[in-house]
Amino acid sequence: MRRSVELRGVGGSEPYARDVVRRYLPVEGIAASIALFVAVAAADVAAKTDASPIRPPGLWHWAWLLGVAGAFVAYVLGVLRVRRRRPALAPVLIVAVILQLAPLSGPLLLSSDVYGYWIHGRIAAVYHQNPYAETPAAVLEPGQPGYNSGLDTTLYGPGFTAASEIHARVVGTSLRAVEVTYRIAAAVGVLLLLLMIALVVRRPAFAVAFIGWNPLLALHFAGGGHNDIWMLVFVVGGLLLARRGKPALAGVGWAASAFVKSSSLALLPLEALAALRRDTSIGARFVRSFLVAAVAFSALATARYGTAWPLFVRHASSALSQTSSLSLVFRLGQLGVPRQAAKAVLGGVFVVGYILLLREAWRGRARLSLAATLLIFTPAWLMPWYGSWPVVLAAIEDDVAAQIVAVIATAYLLSDAIPLPFS
């Protein structure tokens, strides 16, 4: 409930209205949390949960489908209401924490990537080999913990690989410990992100609801343990530090993000250009600090992993040439468009879209959420957890169009989780 309080300005000037929030019950967020708990309970009885889609037996199938779909519908209704009412932060944040932790009550969901993280960390920590130069099959014998004949060298930055080494030493050979610890770490990353946003952004309740009530993030971070959250933590940290007038630290944050996952490098030119156009001296400090931090991190990475580690950028880029069933390249193929033609068309869309976004940056506005959407939907390789990128960035940008696009992307990427005819 709201009431409008009429106050007088200094010296008896014209009255102005201030909205005071008396009571707010985040009904939609609570409903989304309940629906997600139902979905996780249904997934727990499925024969296989670490791949998509998940197919629980009997009536549990409908519990899973309706749980995921219901969580999304409640999420959309909830963020619309939060945007309209502008409630107090506390109830929104509490619900966000509950929802994002909900998948920890169930099994590993929708992906087995955490085992790949562990294997590469184990290669370095236990077998003292270079995960950027040696594949698991070249280091391990069949039957040894972590042996995987189909896994290539690591695609992730040396910062994340170094953390994976520590993790591998701690968890040993327990696969249950492997997935639980990565999932807890990813959930903690989401909570850290929410806390950062709550303390800095202009409309914290809306931003927290937009991220924290999103079931896609919960399913793939607390549920799947993906490392994208740490790339996002550093990118958002850099953006928020820049807003607080700390461009040098912002540059370090961006450099750290690239040493977790190189995808953030595609967004960096937009942020750098916009910063330079807004204020040349501040923008120069941002760029300079990024370069200095990148050189320092590179020196540390070279000391640990030799000269092979920069290849992870090339390997990650080459992975984008493969085709996943979620990608628009694949969908166009289903409509009869030849794969190479689809790749060419979407490649053209990316080039044109990126040029238009560079023009926006030249005007002083880096529209990073739209850039992230362009980045994930135009290649042939698309994973559902990539949808977290535009969602998180849209939450902190005052860009309604980007927020609408991020919600639509969430709906599409959630379809990967449920056994629909086009899955």
- Judge whether 171 and 177 are in contact, CB under 8 Å: yes
Question: In angstroms, rounded to a whole number, what is the distance separating the alpha carbons of residues 398 and 201?
Answer: 10
Return the HEC string of 179-247.
HHHHHHHHHHHHHHHHHHHHHHCCCHHHHHHHHHCCHHHHHHCCCCCCCHHHHHHHHHHHHHHHHCCCH
Pairing state between β 2-8 and 15-21: antiparallel
* Strand partners for 6: 17
* DSSP H/E element including 2: strand 2-8
For residue 356, pLDDT over 90 is answered with yes
Distances (CA, A) of 120 to 41, 238, 352: 31, 28, 37
Tell me the pLDDT tens digit for each residue of 190-242: 999 999 999 999 899 999 999 999 999 999 999 999 999 999 999 999 999 99
Tell me the pLDDT tens digit for each residue of 379-411: 999 999 999 999 999 999 989 999 999 999 999
Scored b (16 or more CB within 10 A) or e, 144-172 reads eebeeeebebbbbbbbbbbbbbebbeebe
What does DSSP assign to residue 264?
G
- Name the percent of the chain in helix, strand, coil, to the closest 5: 65, 5, 30
Q: Please tell me the predicted confidence (pLDDT) of residue 196.
A: 96
Q: Please tell me the predicted confidence (pLDDT) of residue 420.
A: 63
Question: In angstroms, rounded to a whole number, what is the distance separating the alpha carbons of residues 367 and 361?
Answer: 7
What does DSSP assign to residue 258?
H
Tell me the pLDDT tens digit for each residue of 90-121: 999 999 999 999 999 999 999 999 999 999 99
Tell me the pLDDT tens digit for each residue of 239-266: 999 999 999 999 999 999 999 999 999 9
| DSSP sequence for 46-90 | SS--SSSS----TTHHHHHHHHHHHHHHHHHHHHHHHHHH---HH
Q: Please tell me the predicted confidence (pLDDT) of residue 8.
A: 37
Distances (CA, A) of 187 to 193, 289, 354, 376: 10, 29, 32, 22
The torsion angle over the Cα atoms of residues 370, 355, 337 and 390, rounded to 10 degrees, is: -10
Tell me the pLDDT tens digit for each residue of 131-186: 999 999 999 988 888 888 889 999 999 999 999 999 999 999 999 999 999 999 99
* Strand partners for 20: 3
